[in-house]
Amino acid sequence: MNTLSYALLGLIARKPLSGYDLMRQMRERVGPLWPVGHSQIYPALAALERGGLARHNVVEQTERPDRKVYAATAAGRQALRAWIQAEASGRPLRDEFLLKTYSMWLLRGGEAQELIERERERRARSLAEYEGTLSRLRDEWKGEIDRGDSPLFASARVLEYAILHERDYLAWCAETLRLLGRGDPS
């Protein structure tokens, strides 16, 4: 059982889904948090089923290929709870952009500023995207989203975190540009 399996379990514990659905949900909702390709999903679902943590029904379709819709079993929900409460493994950030800034002293003239400016713009775009998703979620689930025991509350909190994180990145870029500007006025 790896982290990916728990991510999938977390989704099918909310609502039964097919492998294809899971692929889209992982891309759209959990995407920035834990991206997965469909080639990982299908074997993982088979493994969950072998372990008794999920079960599937075949839904036959005439106009499209049949779907295998997976749902979490009681044992699956139990395993998910246990994983959540287990000691965190302390996985690292692995931030490629920061690793690049670590060597930005090699750049000349305004190259460092350009690099950071480009990143600032990318982050601003993804911030706007998260904010859009969150406000759509809020509009759609007005009452439920504030209840602490609701799946929607958890979704919203994760999005809030992503938003905080992007804001932070923007602030860091702005401050770095300011500091670079002082020492080296173009």
Residue 33 vs residues 36, 52, 103, 161: alpha-carbon distances, Å? 10, 26, 26, 10
Beta bridge partner(s), residue 17: 70
What SS3 string covers 73-128?
A: CHHHHHHHHHHHHCCCCCCCCCCHHHHHHCCHHHCCCCHHHHHHHHHHHHHHHHHH
**Cα angle 126-8-58, degrees, rounded to a multiple of 5:** 120
The DSSP string of 19-51 is HHHHHHHHHHTSTTTS---HHHHHHHHHHHHHT
95 binds DNA (CB under 7 A): no
84 HSE (CA, 13 A, CB side): 9
Nearer to a copy of itself, 59 or 161 (CB): 161
Q: Which of residues 1-20 bind DNA (CB under 7 A)?
A: 2-4, 18-20
Residue 111 contact among DNA, a copy of itself, none, beta carbon within 5 to 8 Å by kind: a copy of itself
Closest CA to 112 of 29, 183, 38: 183
Residue from the set 31, 35, 110, 132 that interacts with DNA by CB under 7 A: 35
Nearer to DNA, 16 or 151 (CB): 16
Q: Which residues sit at the interface with a copy of itself, rule CB under 8 A? A: 3, 6-7, 9-10, 13, 30-35, 77, 80-81, 83-85, 88-107, 111-112, 115, 119, 122, 146-151, 153-155, 157-158, 160-162, 164-165, 168, 171-172, 175-176, 179-180, 182-184
CB of 21 to a copy of itself, least distance (A): 16
Beta bridge partner(s), residue 19: none
Q: Which tokens go with 16?
A: 């039964």
Nearer to a copy of itself, 59 or 84 (CB): 84
Q: Which of residues 102-161 bind DNA (CB under 7 A)?
A: none
CB of 111 to DNA, least distance (A): 25
CB of 17 to DNA, least distance (A): 9
Residues of this chain that interact with DNA (CB under 7 A) are: 2-4, 18-21, 23-24, 35-40, 42-43, 45-46, 61, 63-68, 92, 94
